[in-house]
Each structure stands twice: as structure tokens, then as C-alpha cells.
Amino acid sequence: MTESSLLRKFDGPLTRDLLLSPGGFGLGHVPAKLQPTAVTTSVCGYCSTGCSLTVHLKDGEAVSLSPNTEYPVNLGMACPKGWEALTVLDAPDRATTPLLRDASGKLKPVDWDTALKTFVARMQGIQSRHGDDSIAFISTGQMATEEMALLGALAKFGMGMKHGDGNTRQCMATAVVAYKQSFGFDAPPYTYADFEESDTIVLVGSNLCLAHPIMWERVMRNKHKPEIIVIDPRRTETAMAATLHLPLAPKSDMDLFYGIARILIERGWINREFINAHTNGFDSFAEFVLPFTLDRVVAATGLSAESIERFATLIHEGKRVSFWWTMGVNQSYQGVRTAQALINLALMTGHIGKPGTGANSITGQCNAMGSRLFSNTTGLLAGHEFANADHRAKVAGILGIDEARIPREASWAYHEILEGVLKGKIRGLWIICTNPAHSWINQRLCHDILDRVEFLVVQDMYHTTETAQRAHLILPAAGWGEKDGTFINSERRFGVFKKVRRAPGQALSDFSIFRLIADAWGCGKMFDRWDSPQSAFQILKKLSAGQPCDITGIEDYRMIEESGGIQWPLASGARSGASGEQERRLFVDGRFYHPDGRAKFLFEAPRPMPEPTSAKYPFVLLTGRGSASQWHTQTRTSKSEVLRKLYPQRLYVEINPNDARSLGISPNERVSVESQRGRVTAQAFLTPSVPVGQVFVPMHESNANQLTDAVFDPYSKQPNYKSCAVRVTRIGA
Amino acid sequence: MSVTLPESDRRAEDVSPPCQGVVAPILADQSRFKAALGGLTPSTRLEHGDSLLSRLLADQQQLTAVEEFARQHDGGDLPSQSRYYKSLIPASPPGPGQQYAFEVDLDRCSGCKACVTACHSMNGLDQNETWRDVGMLIGGTTELPVLQHVTTACHHCLEPGCMSACPVDAYEKDPITGIVKHLDDQCFGCQYCILACPYEVPKYHSGLGIVRKCDMCSDRLAHGEAPACVQACPHEAIAIRIVNLSQVIEDSEANVFLPGAPDPQITLPTTSYKSSKVFPRNLLPVDFHSVSAQHPHWPLVVMLVLTQFSVGAFLVGLGLERLLSAELVSAIRPLHSLNALVFGLLALGASTLHLGRPQYAWRAVIGLRHSWLSREIVVFGAFAGAAVVYAVGSWFGFESLGLGPLLHEVVAWSVGAFGLLGVFCSVMIYAFTQRAFWSFPLTATRFALTTALLGIAATWVTLLALAVINNGPVTRLLVRRGDLICQALIIVTVTKLGFEALVFRHLLKKQTTPLKRSAVLMTGPLVRWTQARFACGVLGGVLMPAVLRALIGDVSPSAMSMLATSAVLFIACLAGELLERYLFFAAVASPRMPGTIR
């Protein structure tokens, strides 16, 4: 370094503030002021990609982090949310003590003892007056598997609740039902290596670039120069990178896929051998798709005949074709059948169970899969059925509880619980780690419902969420980074996350809160064995025995850690991830989970959009993720100043310049977007990437769901977020 | 079976008043509660009801990840991540005629913005500090729309605007790597580099009072590691390459840089953006149509207006002296020179308020060879020195300083010359940035007219002050010359307001040019400021002088009304110019890389 002189300072305190020094631990240079004394790894707590982060520790506490180079999921990369995962823990609006609404309607700090007593007294009071099933819970895809399981077991077996559901209803329910019906178990068959091994990648309703940047990383690492077919009404970042983009009319996916199936059958581009050996129902499916002629599909989708035929040809020519879908499919009034239309394409071409293939649902939240398997809501713990007496007996035996305490039927779905409030059947509601007042469809109605709840408890990291602000009691929760547990990612991989920060004030891990509530409720003994997330994991292992999601072969957290995560199934005696492959896929032997080992072709006639456009509301409203820096309702991501810089600060609406011109809307003008349910003000963003007649609004601003229409898939009960009718007008016009 | 109630229930009466109402009824209901438990006995509740809570609270504060999971690592030469970036950085340093440069593969930039957060995190930047940005371009047709994210940081230019502008030489361009590095401890926080960089690269850190910027992670590169952004891009969109300087110049001349980016010939940026796509001609930054008011830099507003006031006052004073008798000159000179000096010193005082670290203001002389800011500071320093000498001489007689009449003339003209030169340096500071609103002709006209306008107004105030002291000859002069001064003020003001209003003609343009942006800002978000500016201008420079002319024409003008009118004239003129200068900063359209929706 050049020497400093009186006139020129090359060194000094300001220079040293940004000094880099070798970090050790294989990290390369790190800021000297954040030099770690140890490192550990932790799986990220935002989305379902399940990246591993190397946490830099100083005296045991996290000071920084970087993506884990060795992990098979993210290969040394992370998206902005992961990079900023620690920052959001320091927000000033963290809930640090329980808050109870006093007589004047203000939320006032109380001690845990008071909070627990109030919780028990109010909830038991409601039960005594209205029956055990008059209280319910709404949980999340963002907590540890162990926490979800403890909550589900506590609420249903300990507290006598009948109804509980998770926010996974908003993201994954459709995939769950589609898989269950088609394969016999909720089993996404793929591993991320399939992104790299495909030669034909079909992405449906999935803006991977923004929603799952690290999965897009895997696509970009594909060495086979893959054809990338993106099916999305909008020309998204992902569509831009596609070799074929099919901007179909909203909700015409089923017509398209049935039409493609018809072409494949007609031209003999199907795998008869696979169909005969491993599936049921193909013949009636073939008959069903006959009316989906090219003309009909062209009319329904608005696509050109050439592009549709090109799509079919690419599927035919591909040696390793994989079909991937995300919320464009799941969040639909006919999502299950749409997902199955894709599953059918994979089945009829035999593109499943082999590298680079599959009908693959990309999950949303970090532990959506944990919720699907272990939340004890729609399904009994570990993929069992409430209605199945053998399953109940097995679970009761393993948990050491009276079998009679296990309900004989599944819970109501999310919207049925909310309707239950309207009908006076649900009086007490416990919302954990989710923010329905922001995220639920048809927001005004949702607010009305939440305000009718006699006793609303919200358990969250922050006391400022739209939902927490409506609560009677707020329980302060520790967040990701302040507790231990496992998440299961999109490709069925268990990953461990760790306590690397001290929770603020009196905040406790959700696991501890559940234990305290069990104790206060009077059923603590029932959960004596659940004394730590690790012990809970051992219980979950036992519950999984003999199930498709058998994890009895996983010893403990350390084994997960050392193996680079472990995908289910790993039955006892099977080769572990450490000694076996890190990337495993299902159905390699063509055996599915239905009793006869065969997959089913399932199909149904497409239905028109529930709220078609009209003269008064001439635009179709699409909603979705706005940027890679935002997570859902922004409870966490809005707490990082850096993330806040990376996304627009106001609600905006994407509108085609042609539509804008005919409405007299100029760029950046504040406009009104109005549906039958609500009206919001947004900044007009003129872009040809959204087709004429459609507008797009990102879901992250708190008022976006004032517009959406509460319609649900009849099978999955998942809300239809992505199509309703709106009008756009100049303000003051 | 005996049932012991959980302690938490037994103590229900103890809870604080707000909860009592809800808890009490429950106690009557315990039998149902017991039944609900289905025979479960919470037997040990009494003993450890509280202790479970305290145990869990204590446990929550225990951090055990280290003992349980501290990761082992093998201490290889290179970090483990290097396997992903090895091919993205050069294997050897640049040779003569070459330097390092960012290369961005636009086909691989998907807009995830991981680079921004990685740079922030791996460089230990402050909470809201970012050195990299990702913007977006859109265009094309409805049939074939195009959107393109663009990641951008410092372009480590061949002719860095920041470096030329810096008055304290806080920038250096590494002779081998070509990296433009900022010397944090050398910086005194004048922020001129921010105005001089067309790419908004240097970022001011108000807490530290200095600017900081991307140095291409030069320490990492020196150790064979990739910069943070290169390491962190999941799609390998950013690389460090060696570029030939001649190629950079050639590309800049041909304007092959990036659609929607500032003209590369200003600073010769080295970053290369590559793409296999043919971009449509209508590809524009998404923030192309958005205008936002810029930082007003209040200390600079005050400094510019008051230095021009002071210079104008001296010059008009000198000019007036040519027209007057020696007697009158000696009557006017002391007060007028003091008047000009006081505002000049105020201006220099205000200018230091703009520095993040004013204690290092003396360093400003270092950049004299290249920085217009250095030159401005030095020249105005000389101006102030000469003005002090002149003012002292005017009060106490030049003879008292041992100066003859010739030297007196020399000092007088030095003040004028240094003043004019200082104003010229001020003009150049802004002209150097190549912003349309700050172009040389526009800025020079603006500053010259301010100098004239305030000079005239200041001279009037001096005369009036003397009149109040009831100096006989001056009062007579006022009657004779006052009308001329008022006329001059009206003419200069009308010229200046007309000149400023010329910018509004750009509103008629179809294209969003930089000058149209300024006009849009002045008639949109800044319209109140614009209205106030023109109102003050008309009041102080047209209406009040007209009133004064009428008063002077009276047979016996009332001293009180003269005084009041003059006070309003002076304050309104000064306020008008301050507002004008506020708009000069706030309404400028700064060049920038493609931004985001805002």
C-alpha cells in the first residue's frame, strides 16, 4: 500500500472500516470487522428451494452469512432474501413480549404467565360454551417440521380441536391433491438435478427467474442446450429466456394440455409400453381428449396453431422432458385438473422416474412439504389418513395417546374455517406464523371475518403484521435463525436450520410456545417426549415408518447435515445420502403408490373463468410475485433496508401500452384498479410484457387482495388468485 | 383419578385487571375442562409450571450451534467457492494498454439482484448502503415484448469523472488494474464526484461524512478471489475481463455501451454489456418517464447565490464609481465594500457546511490542476482576501495600509477579476457534469445574470443605507441615479426571468429529453417552488423598482416608504435567486443507468 502523507491519506479509520481479511473456514476474504470465529450451516427459511447458508459466527452468534458452496441444492448461491436473512431479525417491531388487548382496545405488554392463562381461559371458555370444535388454528409453511407436528398434535389430540389448516392451502394444496389422486401419495418425484439433465424443460405458470432464482441457476447450468418452453400469459423474465414462449389466454391451460395430448396420441408420440405397464385410465383419457382439436385449442388459448404443434413436437423430440409448474397452475379454480393434465402428459410419454423428467410441482414456502406431511391438518401425521382406523391406531400407539383423541375426519380447509367464523361455529382462532389479513383472497371479507372472531391469537415474530394488529393476544415468536428444526424442500430434501441468534426479549421458539401452551392447557404430559425439536424428529421418524415418506433411515440432525440434506424416502437400512447419491428421484421402477402400483389418468372438462370480463370490468387481473427481493406479505423482507431498495415502494399495475393509450393513461400515472370487491390506487407501469386485455398486480402490497375473488378449486380448496375481472381508470376521470 | 389443576389455572385470580373478566367464568367450568383432557393428569404442573417457562426462556438465549455443528474445513489455498468463479476472473494481471473491467452477459442476468445483496454483505457495508444496482429496460411490441434486467456498478472508466472532479485527490486509478479506487480517509465529503459521475456510482454516507464506492473488490482480486458480485451471481452473468484501453475508446466513440445508458464518451466506461439479442429500437429504461426531484444541496444554493451577490456588488460598485465624483465615491465605498464582503464571507462559510468533514476543507487546494471545485475554492479564497484588503482600505484609507492610489486600483480590479474568475469556476463545476440543464451556456447566463441582478440590488441597498444616514450628496445622487438603477434592475430581472422561463418550451417536445424532465419537474413536483421563484423575481426585480421609481419621481419622497420598498426589493430579489438556485439543483435531470419502477 502506498504510504500516507500529510496531503494524501491512504489509510486511517475510514479505510479500515471496509478492510477485508482472509475469513478462514474456506470462506475467502470477509470484512475484517465481521471476522468469524466459527461457522455453521443452516437451511434458509424463505422459499422451498431450501438453500443452505454458511452462517459466520462470532462468539457463537451469527454476524454474517454467505451461501454454502458445498450444498447440492444451491451450489454456493443465494437470492437476496437469503443474503439478508439475518438483517430482518433486528427489526424494531419484533414482538418481544406477549401483548394483550386491554379493555380500551389497546395492545399492552403482559408477562408470559398472564398470556398463557388468558389463552387457556379464553379458549377453554369458548370450548365450554360452544363445543370443542369451536376453536381452530391456522398455521404455516414457514415453521420447522417438528413445530408443525407438535402444533398439529397438541391442537387436535391435546386441546380437542377438530379444525386447523395452513397457509400452504394458498400455495401447495393443488399439487398435493393432484399427486395424491394421480400417484396415490403426495409425492413430487423430482430432484433438482433434473433441471440440469433435461433436454426439454416445460415451465407452466412459473416465473422461475424471480420466484426461484436458485432453481433457475440449475436451469442455467444445464449443459444440454435445453429447449425451454414457458407457458404464461405474461412475457416474464423466464419467458424471455425461453426458446418457446406460449402466451396463452388466462386459464386456458387445460385446453392446451388436452390439445397437446390429442396431438401426441394422434401422431403416435406416446409411450405405450409405459402406459400399459404403469398406468390406469389411459383409454378413457384418449377418448376424452378427442374433441380438443387444434382449432378448438387455438380458439381457447389464443395461440397460433404452429406454436401449439411446435410444443407437441418438442415434447416428442425430447429425450428427457420435464414438466414443472408453480402458482400459475396451483392458484386456480381448476388447479388440480390442470396439474393432472400435466401429469398425464408425463405419464403418456413415459417421462417420469428417469433423470431429467417428471411432472414436477415447485413448492412455495420453505417448509410447505413439512406442512403437507406433518402438520396434522388435512392428513394425519406423516401422510396418514384421519379416516383410516389402522392409521389412527398406529399414530396413537407411537405417540402413546388414547386413539379416541384422534379425530376421524380431516379438518376443514382454510376457507371453511373462515366461513365457520361467519356461521358462528368457529369462535376462537389461533393464527401461527402467517398473515391472512394481507394474503387471503378477497381481503375486505377476510378482515370482516377476523374482526368477528371472539378470541384471536396471533403468534408471530413481529407485532405489526396486518393480522397481529387485529389480535386479542399476540404471542412473541423467535424466528428463523433463533431456533432449531428441519425444513423439507421442494425436492423432498430435509435440511437443518439452527439457532445462531438470541431471540429478542421474551420471544420464544414456536416449539417452546406450544410446549408452554400444552402445559398451561393441562395436557403437557401427553407431550412429555416432545422435549426438543430433536426428540420430536425422532417421533416423526417412527410415524413415517412404512409410509412413502419413510425417513427411519435418517439418524439425526447431524446425519442430515453431513449428507448435504437428505431426500425422503430413506427407510432404515437404505443407503444414506452420505454414502449414496445426493440426488434421488421417485418412481424409478415405475411403481406408484396406489394399491395396484399404477398411476391414474385424471381429467375433467375445462370450465370458464368464474368471473369473466364484462363491459364494466374489461380486464383480467393477474397477480403474482413482483421481485426476488420480496417474500409474500413482506412481514420479513420489508425489514431489510437493502431489500427495500430492490423493489418498488408503491403498488403498481402492469398494463399494456395499447390499453393505456385507449384509456388515456400515461406512464407512471396514478390509476384506479377496481373489481366488484374493492378499489385500489396504483402506479401505471406501461409494458408490452402483459398482453392486451390483462393487467398484473404484484401480491406483496397489502391492498392487492382487495381485488381478488374468493373462488376455490373444488378438490384442493386452493384460492383462485390469478383471474378476476377489473377495470382500470384514470383517477379523476 | 385425582386431577391437579395446572398452576397457571390455579393462579387465575392473580392476573391483571383487564383479563379478570375473561378468566373468572372459566374457573366455574373446570369440570368440563377435566373431562376434555380425557383422563390425562397434568400431575407435575404445580412443581414445574413456572420452571418450564423459565427453563425455556433461558434455553432460548443459549446458542449451541457451534458446539454441535461447527463446521470443519480443509484449509486449501483458495476458498471453496472458487470452483464456481475460476473461469470468471482473469488468470493473470492486465498488461500495458489493458485494464480489468466488468463484463455483464445480459442473456444471463435474470434480475434476481443477488449481486446487490452479496456486495452489500461481503463488503460489510452499512445498513442501507449498496454499491451495485439492477435496473430494467423494456420495449418491443405486444407481439414480441422485450424486458432486460441490467446489473451495474462502477465502470472503472478510463477518464473517471469522479476523479477529475475530486478537489482533494481522493480517487486514484490503479496504473496496472485500472481500478478506480476511493481513498476514504482522504475524502472530505464535498460530494462533487456524485455530480460528476454520469452513472450515480459514488454513494454519500452521511453518517461518516464521506463518499464510498465499488473498488471491484480489489483486495479479493489481488488474492485470486472474485469480486463479491461475480462470486454471488447464480447465473454467472458478471465476470472480470481484461480489456484493451484502445477498444474501450473505440466502443465509446461508437456509443456501443448499453441502450438507455448515459453517453459513454463523457468518461469512457470499461464495463462491457454483451447480449445475443437484437434489442428493439424502443428499448427504454423502466424509469425513463419518471422524474424525481434531486438533492437541493442547500449549502451550495446559499454559497452560489451569495458569492455571486458579493462579486456583483463589487463589480457594480466599481462601475458606479466611474460615474461618480471622488467625493461621492469616498462616501459610498466603505459601506458598499463592507456590504459585499460580508455576503462574500457568508457564502464561503455556507460552502463549508456542504462538506461531510469540514475540518479537512484545507485539502481542497490539492486538486487545483484538474478539479474545478478546487479552482473555485482557491479563487474565491483569493477573492475574499482581496476583498478584505479592499474593504479595510476603503474604511481606513489605502494610505493607512501603505498603498498608493495605483495599488488601490490594482486591489480593486483584483477583487473584480478574482470574483469573475470565481463565478466562472462555479459555472465550470456544473458545466463539467455535462447535464443539459447545467450546460455551459445555460449556467453561465444564469450565474452572470444573478451576479448582475444582485449586484444592482446590493448597490441600491448601500445607497439607501447611506441615505438613511442622511448623507446630503448621496441623497442627491439617489434622486439623480436611483431611477437609472431601478431601470437597470428591471431590465436584468425581466431578462433573467425570461431566460429561466425558456426551459418550459421543452414541455412541448414529444420526446422526454433531459430539459423536458427539468421542465416537468418544475411544473409538476416542484411547481410551488417555481411559482414562488417567479413571484419573488417579479416582486423584487420589477414591482418594487417600479414603485421606487414612482417614489423618486415624487417631489418629497417619504423616507419610510422608500426604506420599506427597498427592503422588500432586496429581500425578494435575494429570495428569488435562492429559489432559482434551489430549482437549479432540484430540477436537474441527472444522467443515470437504467433504473427500476419508481
Q: Which pLDDT score is estimated for A580?
A: 56
Q: Is the pLDDT of residue A82 over 90?
A: yes
How many Å lie between the alpha carbon of B32 and the closest alpha carbon of chain A? 7
Are both A545 and A669 inside the same structural domain?
A: no
Contact partners, residue A239, CB within 8 Å, separation at least 6 = A207, A230, A232, A245, A247
Q: Which pLDDT score is estimated for B41?
A: 40
Q: Which pLDDT score is estimated for B74?
A: 53
Q: Is the pLDDT of residue A514 over 60?
A: yes
Q: Which amino acid type is present at position B531?
A: Q
In this structure, the number of other CB atoms found within 10 A of the CB of residue B397 comes to 13
Q: Which pLDDT score is estimated for A622?
A: 97
Asked, for residue B77, whether it belongs to a domain, the answer is no
Q: Which pLDDT score is estimated for A287?
A: 98
Are both A70 and A105 inside the same structural domain?
A: no
What's the CATH number where B521 sits?
A: 1.20.1630
> Number of folded domains in chain A?
4
**Per-residue pLDDT tens digits for B341-364:** 999 999 999 999 999 999 999 999
Of A306, A330, A361, the position where a domain reaches its end is A361
Asked, for residue A431, whether it belongs to a domain, the answer is yes
Q: How confident is the model at residue A315 (pLDDT cuts 50, 70, 90)?
A: very high
Q: Which of A41, A405, A519 to mutate to test the interface with B (most CBs of B within 10 A)?
A: A519
Total CB pairs under 8 A between chain A and B:
368
**Per-residue pLDDT tens digits for A101-115:** 999 999 999 999 999
Q: How confident is the model at residue B408 (pLDDT cuts 50, 70, 90)?
A: confident
Are both B154 and B50 inside the same structural domain?
A: no
Are both B449 and B383 inside the same structural domain?
A: yes
Are both B405 and B523 inside the same structural domain?
A: yes
Report the pLDDT averaged over residues B383-410: 80
Asked, for residue B57, whether it belongs to a domain, the answer is yes
**Which residues in chain B are closer than 8 Å to A38, comparing Cβ atoms?**
66, 70-71
Are both A48 and A121 inside the same structural domain?
A: no
Domain that holds residue B94: 84-285
Are both B223 and B358 inside the same structural domain?
A: no
**Per-residue pLDDT tens digits for A686-698:** 999 999 999 999 9
Q: Is the pLDDT of residue A504 over 90?
A: yes
Q: How confident is the model at residue A579 (pLDDT cuts 50, 70, 90)?
A: very low
Q: Is the pLDDT of residue A236 over 60?
A: yes
Are both A122 and A221 inside the same structural domain?
A: no
Are both B397 and B251 inside the same structural domain?
A: no
Q: Which of B107, B116, B185 sits opposite A12 (nearest CB)?
A: B185
Are both B53 and B160 inside the same structural domain?
A: no
Asked, for residue A481, whether it belongs to a domain, the answer is yes
Asked, for residue B595, whether it belongs to a domain, the answer is no
Q: What is the ipTM of this complex?
A: 0.96
What's the CATH number where B208 sits?
A: 3.30.70.20
- DSSP tag of A365: B
Give the number of residues written for chain B: 598
Of B285, B308, B327, the position where a domain reaches its end is B285
**Which residues in chain B are closer than 8 Å to A303, comparing Cβ atoms?**
none
What's the CATH number where A554 sits?
A: 3.40.50.740
Tell me the average pLDDT of chain B: 87
- Of B342-356, B542-556, B559-573, the poorest mean pLDDT is in B542-556
Asked, for residue A574, whether it belongs to a domain, the answer is no
Contact partners, residue B28, CB within 8 Å, separation at least 6 = none
Domain that holds residue A76: 13-90
Are both B339 and B487 inside the same structural domain?
A: yes
Q: Is the pLDDT of residue B216 over 80?
A: yes
Asked, for residue A71, whether it belongs to a domain, the answer is yes
Q: Which of A125, A502, A691 sits opposite B22 (nearest CB)?
A: A125
Asked, for residue B219, whether it belongs to a domain, the answer is yes
- DSSP tag of A578: T
Q: Which pLDDT score is estimated for B335?
A: 85
Q: Which pLDDT score is estimated for B66?
A: 66
Are both A18 and A54 inside the same structural domain?
A: yes
Residues 99-118 on B with a CB inside 8 Å of A are 107-108, 110-114, 116-118
Q: Is the pLDDT of residue B5 over 50?
A: no
Q: Which of A642, A654, A689 to mutate to test the interface with B (most CBs of B within 10 A)?
A: A642
Are both B347 and B410 inside the same structural domain?
A: yes
Q: Is the pLDDT of residue B575 over 50?
A: yes
Are both A354 and A254 inside the same structural domain?
A: yes
Q: How confident is the model at residue B553 (pLDDT cuts 50, 70, 90)?
A: confident
Q: Is B2 on the interface with A (CB under 8 A)?
A: no
User: 3-state DSSP call for residue A654?
Assistant: strand
Asked, for residue A587, whether it belongs to a domain, the answer is no
Are both A179 and A321 inside the same structural domain?
A: yes
Are both B108 and B17 inside the same structural domain?
A: no
What's the CATH number where A303 sits?
A: 3.40.228.10
Kindly report whether the peptide bond that precedes residue A233 is cis, defined as omega within 30 degrees of 0. Answer: no
Of B285, B318, B353, the position where a domain reaches its end is B285
Q: Which of A237, A535, A658, A666 to mutate to test the interface with B (most CBs of B within 10 A)?
A: A237
Are both B54 and B111 inside the same structural domain?
A: no
Cβ separation B138–A30 shorter than 8 A? no
Of A58, A90, A122, the position where a domain reaches its end is A90
Asked, for residue B429, whether it belongs to a domain, the answer is yes
**Which residues in chain A are closer than 8 Å to B231, comparing Cβ atoms?**
28, 76
Report the pLDDT averaged over residues A703-707: 96
- Of A576-590, A595-609, B131-145, the poorest mean pLDDT is in A576-590
- Nearest Cα neighbor of B341 from B277, B384, B300 is B384
Asked, for residue B582, whether it belongs to a domain, the answer is yes
> Number of folded domains in chain B?
3
Are both A200 and A239 inside the same structural domain?
A: yes
Q: How confident is the model at residue B1 (pLDDT cuts 50, 70, 90)?
A: very low
Asked, for residue A586, whether it belongs to a domain, the answer is no
**Per-residue pLDDT tens digits for A621-662:** 999 999 999 999 999 999 999 999 999 999 999 999 999 999
**Region of residue A616 (phi > 0: left; psi between -120 and 50: alpha; otherwise: beta):** alpha
Q: How confident is the model at residue A574 (pLDDT cuts 50, 70, 90)?
A: confident
- Of A249-253, A310-314, B68-72, B150-154, the poorest mean pLDDT is in B68-72
Q: Which CA distances in Å does B520 have to A444, B210, B442, B587, B590?
A: 38, 32, 18, 9, 14
Asked, for residue B43, whether it belongs to a domain, the answer is yes
Are both B167 and B47 inside the same structural domain?
A: no
**Per-residue pLDDT tens digits for A432-484:** 999 999 999 999 999 999 999 999 999 999 999 999 999 999 999 999 999 99
Asked, for residue B293, whether it belongs to a domain, the answer is no
Q: Is the pLDDT of residue B16 over 70?
A: no
What's the CATH number where A26 sits?
A: 2.20.25.90
Are both A410 and A449 inside the same structural domain?
A: yes
Beta carbons of A34 and B124 less than 8 angstroms apart: yes
How many Å apart are CA A169 and CA A178, to the nearest integer?
13
Asked, for residue A581, whether it belongs to a domain, the answer is no
Are both A202 and A244 inside the same structural domain?
A: yes
Are both B330 and B402 inside the same structural domain?
A: yes
Are both A333 and A203 inside the same structural domain?
A: yes
Are both A275 and A333 inside the same structural domain?
A: yes
Asked, for residue A592, whether it belongs to a domain, the answer is no
Q: Where are the beta strands (DSSP E) in A126-194?
A: 135-139, 163-166
**Per-residue pLDDT tens digits for A580-589:** 578 899 999 9
CA angle A178, A184, A188 (to 5 degrees): 60
Q: Is the pLDDT of residue B487 over 70?
A: yes
- In this prediction the pTM is 0.92
Cβ separation B37–A516 shorter than 8 A? no
**Per-residue pLDDT tens digits for B20-66:** 333 333 333 444 434 444 334 443 344 444 689 999 999 999 987 76
